[in-house]
């Protein structure tokens, strides 16, 4: 792999998205959304599920209902989101700590050993439970998740609040994201974004790796 860009080696803060960067909870979201779609008597494919990555819970529900051509009132919409969330929580409650993605724990630990401050910047309201299941809550100096932000990505709020909680100016923080909306949120916050995935999926990212473990290899080489 090429040398790491300067913005990555000089960053004082690291802000991590959760789903798709640290753990693949998208598969559990998919199971729960599919279950809801099937209850409503329509199919929901893995390809459809791609549209929900990084998107807020209620926006995800709207996309799902649009696919099934359902037009429902606010009260029912609320009940459906609760139903889906109960199923999702049931699935993630069975998660074990070895479901953490390759190199994620080690990379975050490495950054912390170098004095870099770390924060979570996730849209998920279930982030605290997921971190607890993976036993990595204490790897973050701050946790900003769907419980404390008002505007979903691509709004920069989650990352601006992350930088603020770390006591750092936005431009000294780097964001790690797997979704286009998250990369856009990072840029709107004045931060560089490392894309976790492919250049095709994340054309706007400032640097691309397949996983956080890939960065660890490079950091180790730099040392
Ligand atoms: P919840 P991230 C996002 O997590 C997921 O990618 C997205 O699919 C989900 O709808 C959203 O969290 C809300 O999750 O229903 O648990 O509150 O990628 O921002 O870490
Ligand atoms: Mg994500």
Q: Report if pTM > 0.85.
A: yes
For residues 56-81, b (16+ Cβ closer than 10 Å) or e, as one string? bbeebbebbbebbebeeeeeeeeebb
Of 159, 172, 116, residue with least CA distance to 141: 116
19 in ligand 1 pocket by Cβ < 6 Å?
Answer: yes
Of 47, 125, 43, 36, residue with least CA distance to 89: 125
Q: What is the pLDDT along the chain (223 residues), one digit of tens a residue?
A: 558 999 999 999 999 999 999 999 999 999 999 999 999 999 999 999 999 988 899 999 999 999 999 999 999 999 999 999 999 999 999 999 999 999 999 999 999 999 999 999 999 999 999 999 999 999 999 999 999 999 999 999 999 999 999 999 999 999 999 999 999 999 999 999 999 999 999 999 999 999 999 998 755 544 3
Residues recognised as catalytic: 17, 19
Q: How far is the CA of 101 from the centre of ligand 2 (A)?
A: 12
Atom of ligand 1 nearest to the CA of 54: 6
Say how far residue 215 (Cα) sits from the centre of its chain: 18
* 141, 165 Cβ separation under 8 angstroms: yes
What class is the 26-92 domain? Answer: mainly alpha
What residue ranges of the chain are covered by domains with CATH 3.40.50.1000? 6-24+98-222
Task: State whether CATH 3.90.79.10 applies to domain 6-24+98-222.
Answer: no
- 154 cis-preceded (ω within 30 degrees of 0): yes
Q: How far is the CA of 153 from the centre of ligand 2 (A)?
A: 10
Say how far residue 157 (Cα) sits from the centre of its chain: 14
What residue ranges of the chain are covered by domains with CATH 1.10.150.240? 26-92
Strands 173-177, 13-16: pairing is parallel
H/E segment holding residue 16: strand 13-16
| CA 193-194-196 angle, 5° bins | 130
For residues 92-103, b (16+ Cβ closer than 10 Å) or e, as one string? beebeeebbbeb
Q: What is the CA radius of gyration of the chain?
A: 17
Beta bridge partners of 142: 119
Neighbours of 39 (CB within 10 A): 12
Say how far residue 145 (Cα) sits from the centre of its chain: 9
156 in ligand 1 pocket by Cβ < 6 Å?
Answer: no
60 in ligand 1 pocket by Cβ < 6 Å?
Answer: yes
Distance CA 32, CA 44 (A): 10
* 52, 36 Cβ separation under 8 angstroms: no
Atom of ligand 1 nearest to the CA of 123: 19
């Amino acid at each position: 792999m090429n040398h790491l860009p300067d913005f990555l080696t000089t960053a004082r803060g690291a802000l991590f998205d959760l789903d798709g960067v640290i753990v693949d909870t998208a598969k559990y979201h998919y199971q729960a959304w599919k279950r809801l779609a099937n209850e409503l008597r329509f199919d929901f494919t893995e390809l459809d599920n791609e549209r929900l990555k990084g998107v807020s819970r209620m926006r995800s529900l709207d996309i799902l209902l649009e696919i099934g051509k359902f037009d429902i009132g606010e009260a029912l919409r609320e009940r459906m989101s609760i139903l889906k969330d109960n199923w999702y929580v049931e699935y993630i409650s069975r998660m074990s700590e070895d479901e953490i993605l390759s190199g994620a724990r080690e990379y975050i630990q490495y950054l912390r050993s170098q004095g870099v401050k770390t924060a979570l910047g996730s849209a998920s309201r279930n982030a605290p439970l997921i971190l607890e299941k993976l036993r990595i809550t204490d790897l973050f100096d701050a946790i900003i998740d769907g419980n404390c932000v008002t505007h979903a990505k691509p709004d920069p709020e989650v990352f601006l609040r992350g930088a603020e909680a770390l006591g750092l100016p936005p431009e000294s923080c780097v964001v790690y994201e797997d979704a286009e909306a998250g990369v856009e949120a990072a840029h709107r916050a004045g931060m560089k974004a490392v894309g976790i995935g492919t250049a095709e999926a994340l054309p706007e990212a400032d640097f691309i790796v397949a996983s956080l473990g890939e960065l660890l290899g490079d950091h180790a080489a730099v040392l």
